[in-house]
Amino acid sequence: MSCDWSSILISLRKVSQSYGDRAVLVDASVGPGERAGVVGDNGSGRSTLLRTIAEHAAGAGTRPAAARRADQPSVAGAGRGAGAGARRLRRHARRGVTRPSPHPAFPGRRNHSHGGNHMLTMISAGAPYGITTGADGALWFTLVHEGRVGRLVPGQEPVIHQLDPADGQPTVIAPGPGGALWFTEGKGGRVCRITADGQVTAYPADSPYGIVAGPDGAMWFTQMRSGRIGRVAADGTLSACEVPVEGGMPAFLTAGPDDALWFTLNQGNAIGRVSMEGKVTVHPLPTEGGAPVGITLGPDGALWFVEIGAGQIGRIDTAGGIREFALPDREARPHAIITGPDGALWFTEWAAGRLGRITTDGVIDHHPLPRLPDGPDGARRSEPHGLTAGPDGAIWVALEAGALARVPSGTAT
């Protein structure tokens, strides 16, 4: 993917920023014509860092174009994909050594109603990132910075499971066979299975991110740094197939209507398909720099995806035909997408802090998220990431600012 770096107009001179006793910027300086990169794992604070820079720049009357790229997945991570250490991790996990500690009803959880059945559930235990609905009728979500997984039955108190180790940065979570949930830990280099009562089994994987149940009963996941699609069979056997796009960075994936998995190539600017036999086909996007992230099976039998770099929603049929729909706000930075219970596609707009909705005919509208309580410095950004169709027919959104938001879909009660 190419980028016109000449359009980035920002200079920094001795900028510092701290949160408590943690310094994230110390005397940072970037002069005219110089280039600086921000590298880190998902959830490591890249977005916060770039927002801090943007806020400093705003005080000087400028707005850096670089801040628009803050939410792209990162290729960095500490994988454990090979060697004796990986084999030990897998063996210990199967014995049940890796177990979470349940903490029901973390203090400080509050529900805020916002009219029209909008609701905000504050999660004081951490920063929600991924969210899904389990077979048990509960919402399951990851707390990326704290190394936790939560479970919430709407209207009840959440139960929080502390992972061990806690530094894996759990991100995407999805339902799997047998009523269990599966999630990825990009920094920890693990793909994990968690049961309804909180028992965890971990499998080694290199920089995993997206994960989904395949039509073959196995769990399939992306490996961003190594550029592979991984598979965990029902008996725990691990395998992987190569994606023939160097540096393509596969991100999300979903099961298609054709007994195959479809995935996004964030840096490869393409949509990929992998068959149950491991054959990979790649479909380049028409728009340069689209940087696709989320993808889902639509109600029309096509695959729908978001282009975080271009501010577009895309549709690809199983024959490879692609259509793109530009968002009214091309800087909204759409991140994740699902099919809603109303027969439309819903997606998060990370930069705009709201939800978008698109029909299969391409009609787009937007829905505000419940407002977060003000922080010590005023209004807080919500930072919506994952979303799911909840057990109550509403759309539930994970807000990395520390909450779960409920937005009626038209079929919610």
Q: Which residues are catalytic?
A: 385
Q: Coil, strand or helix: which one is 84?
A: helix
Grouping H, G, I as helix, E, B as strand and the rest as coil, residue 356 is strand
DSSP code of residue 306:
E
Confirm whether residue 335 is marked as ligand binding: yes
Round to whole Å and give the CA distance between 171 and 333.
18
Contact present, 53 and 65 (Cβ < 8 Å) = no
CA-derived radius of gyration, the chain? 20
3-class SS at 254?
Answer: strand
Q: Per the annotation, does 400 bind a ligand? A: yes
Any idea how long the chain is?
413
**From CA 253, how far away is CA 273, in angstroms rounded?**
9
322 secondary structure, DSSP code: E
Q: Which of 27, 43, 34, 91 is nearest to 66 (CA)?
A: 34
Task: Using alpha carbons, list the distances in angstroms from residue 72 to 206, 223, 292.
Answer: 18, 15, 9
φ and ψ at 179, to 5 degrees? 80, 0
Q: Sign (positive/negative) of CA torsion 232, 238, 239, 244?
A: positive
Binding residue numbers for Mg(2+): 383, 400
Binding residue numbers for substrate: 335
Binding residue numbers: 335, 383, 400
